Structure 1
Amino acid sequence: MTETTQDLAAVIARVEEEERELVLPAFTHDDAWRLGCLLVELAEERDLPVTVDIRKGTQQVFHAARSGTTPDNDSWVQRKVNTVYRFGASSYLVGRRHAAGGKDFNEASGLPFQEYVAHGGAFPVRVEGVGIVGVVTVSGLAQADDHALAVEALRAFRA
């Protein structure tokens, strides 16, 4: 099923709002661990085959791969993380913006697919008054579902 321009505009607006909303007062190594554990608990409850990864800066602070994932998910995680840090936005938002422009992300950006992907699942961890300090990433589901799970966990963590 192809997305219409109207569908893409709605998704882009929603994700931009999520990024404005999900700003934390602080983000420590312990916070990264708690957020990762929360994501794994959500995945366990739903029996989801996902890899969960939390970065603080460039340091990988949390990483868990559930049954049903493969080392390929680790590669997807790294490429999504690279995209968030390069573009300062969630990997899903970057991808949907390119799709709305009718462009393939890697072709339009000139960035290699082996290093960057604009598929949903990596979400920037922002701290008030600081900006992006990390990335929370989910890999293993359809891209909209990877993104939604990361957002759900960040929303619950922030509450």
Structure 2
Amino acid sequence: MTDDAWLARLEDEHRDLELTRFDRADAWSLGSAIAARALTESYPVAIDVRTASGILFHASMPGATADNDDWVRRKAATAFRFETSTALLEARVAAGGRDFFEPGWLDPAEYAVAGGAVPVRVVGVGVVAIATVSGLPSADDHDLVVRALTRLRD
């Protein structure tokens, strides 16, 4: 997929991927679906679903490390701050957008601009949570979350 096609796909997801509801049971279903896929595929990932006030689901698959948990924390912080997937932010930077880590902007110890954190949006409400995966290449982390969110929506 070309960079332009990837960016267009991410922009479409940003606009169109909304749920009609999301509660703690949905957070469990979402995280569990991602974990089941990760186990089936032997993906060494950390999986996290959180609100601004706390973690609703967290799992570390075989092979994941504490470093993946730190990436989850930083990716989620970025997605909360911008209410946008970190893959979309990363693609916008690659397309010539502002470097989020230029002096005076984002602290790399607190934020990460790498795919894998996706806002959970509810129609008429907005962003209610962030679902994050860390451990695979950026686009693969992102796709793992988006596939599970899409199934939850449908």
- TM-score w.r.t. length of structure 2: 0.94
Matched, 1:129 2:98: no
- 1:113-152 correspondence to structure 2 within 5 Å: 113-152=108-147
Partner of 1:48: 43
Partner of 2:90: 95
| Alignment match of 2:151 (pick from 148, 151, 156) | 156
When the two chains are superposed, the root-mean-square deviation of aligned CA atoms in Å is: 1.6
Give 5+ residue unaligned stretches, structure 2: none
State the Cα deviation string for residues 26-50 of structure 1 (Å, max 9, x = none): 1101110111001101111111111
Distance 1:142 1:108, change over 3 A: farther
Partner of 1:86: 81
Distance 1:129 1:9, change over 3 A: same
- TM-score w.r.t. length of structure 1: 0.91
Matches of 1:36 and 1:25 in 2, distance apart? 18
**Cα displacement (A) at 1:109:** 6.8
Conserved 8 A contact 1:106-1:116:
no
Partner of 2:107: 112
Give 5+ residue unaligned stretches, structure 1: 1-5
Percent of aligned positions that are identical: 47
Structure 1 outlier segments of 4+, above 6 Å? none
Letter in 2 for 1:23: E
Deviation larger for 104-113 or 28-37 = 104-113
